[in-house]
Each structure stands twice: as structure tokens, then as C-alpha cells.
Amino acid sequence: MSEQGYELHGPHDLAPGEEEEVNVGPRLLGYVTGLGLAILLTATSFFVAGTNLVWEPSIPIALVVLAIAQMGVHLVFFLHITTGPDNTNNVMALAFGLVIVFLVVAGSIWIMHHMDQNMMLTPQIMPMQP
């Protein structure tokens, strides 16, 4: 790539395969670190869910925290979404996706709640014969 390409996009804003020099070592180390953390978080989740050593009312909270940590590991180590200046579009796309998911889930819950309240009871529809 020419020097002109670096001026337009910056040295870190390159698509995979556009790098002049392929340096596999640091990239592989990042993936292996992410894999190790993902395995550790998954094993910890199974341990928390299947043991009596953890206070029982705290198990759902611990699983939610471990799930959020697992999502963070996947976003950073595998999807390479960081807060760097060259990843602004990625972070904005992620935020937009989260807003859409939130709207779909909240709307579904709202619709199901109102449908449940507005449903007629069975005895009102079909009276029972003695």
C-alpha cells in the first residue's frame, strides 16, 4: 500500500489482508488469550451453577456477570471492537445493534403483557354446562 493510503485511513484502519507485512505472532497471541479467557469464564459459569460452595441466591447474578464478561471477551479479542479512533464505526454499529435488540425485546415483553391482561377468561367465552 502506498503512503497515500496511510494518509487517508491511518496505519491501523486497514481491512484484513491489506497489511503490507503480515505479523502473525501478536494476532495469534491475542486469539489464544481470548480463547483462554473464554474457556475460563465458561468453566467458572459451570462451576458456579453446579456447586454448593456459592451462596444460592447469588448464583443468577454471578451467571449474568460472567455472561457479560464473556461477551466483552468476544467483542475485544475476536471481533476486535475497541474504543480506538479507528474503530468508531464499529462501536457505533454495536451500539445501534444493542438499541435495536433492546427495542425488540422490550416491545415483545410489552405486547405479551398487554395481551395477557386483555385476554378473556375461558369461562366467559364458553360457559360450562352442569
| pLDDT tens profile 78-119 | 888 877 777 778 888 888 999 999 999 999 999 998 887 777
Contacts of 44 (CB under 8 A, 6+ apart): 66
Contacts from 73-76 at CB under 8 Å and sequence distance 24+?
73/34, 73/37, 73/38, 73/41, 74/34, 74/38, 76/34
**Residues 26, 29, 34, CA angle at the centre, nearest 5°?**
130
Residue positions counted in the chain: 130
How sure is the predictor about 130, in pLDDT bands with cuts at 50, 70 and 90? low
Single-letter residue type at 100 = I
pTM beyond 0.75? no
